[in-house]
Structure 1
Amino acid sequence: MNRSELVAAVAEKTGNSQVAVNGVLDAVFEVFVAQISQGEKVSIPGWLAVERTDRAARTGRNPQTGEAIQIPAGHSVKLTAGSKLKAAVSLK
């Protein structure tokens, strides 16, 4: 399912317009980005949790030359499925 299919499905279930649902979805993702970029965890109990993780600097290898390279420290995003989501997947 892609974004437009998700918007259409939610609009049909809620009776709202696709434009309204799309706006809400945009707002949800803006809040996610704002909170996670500040290092805050966003949690929807039972469904999912999204948080920023730190990656330490490390040494890697250039696959073409085999030369050792330094990979700088950085951040990543971790998404964890909640109990309701896990239960829904295990039933299928």
Structure 2
Amino acid sequence: MTKKAAKAPAKKASPKAAVAAPTKAASDAGKIGKTQLVDLVADKTGLTKKQSEEAVVAALDIMVNAVKAGQSVGLPGLGTLSVRETAARTGVRPGTSEKIQIPAGKKVAFKVASTLKGDL
């Protein structure tokens, strides 16, 4: 610890800071990150966290490489990731209202499984 840090007065927590601090319940309702996914896989399968991380990373790598190759990836109960072609089109630049040509390309699409859609 530096001398300067030791002399700094403690800051009072503002009421807004207390509200913004994430709680366990709030993190469950929000986004699940890779580390939370690894923890959930470890808990559900009985694997170690290191083994679970290797499994999650391997599965994600396989899915990403398949989508990059133009293949569809079906995830039972969740949905399907696929690559869709986009047509060339004319667009308008927002700042100047100038017409621009947008080239054809590809995008990743996700179609939710009907079972999941019905349960939402």
- Whether these two folds match at TM > 0.5 is yes
Deviations 1:1-56 (A, max 9, x none): 22211211121111112221121111112111222222211113333111100001
Could you tell me which runs of 5 or more consecutive residues in structure 1 were left unpaired when the two chains were aligned.
none
RMSD (Å) for aligned C-alpha atoms: 1.5
Counterpart in the other structure of 1:29 = 60
Deviations 1:36-85 (A, max 9, x none): 22221111333311110000111111111111111111100111111332
Matching residue within 70, 90, 101 for 1:70: 101
Structure scoring higher RCO (CA < 8 A, sep ≥ 6) equals 1
TM-score in terms of structure 2 length: 0.66
**Is 1:5 aligned to 2:36, yes or no?**
yes
TM-score in terms of structure 1 length: 0.83
Could you tell me which runs of 5 or more consecutive residues in structure 2 were left unpaired when the two chains were aligned.
1-31
Query: Identity of paired residues, percent?
Result: 35
- Which protein has the larger Cα radius of gyration, Structure 1 or Structure 2? 2
How many equivalent residue pairs? 89
Distance, in Å, in 2 between the alignment partners of 1:67 and 1:3 is 42
Matching residue within 74, 77, 80 for 1:43: 74
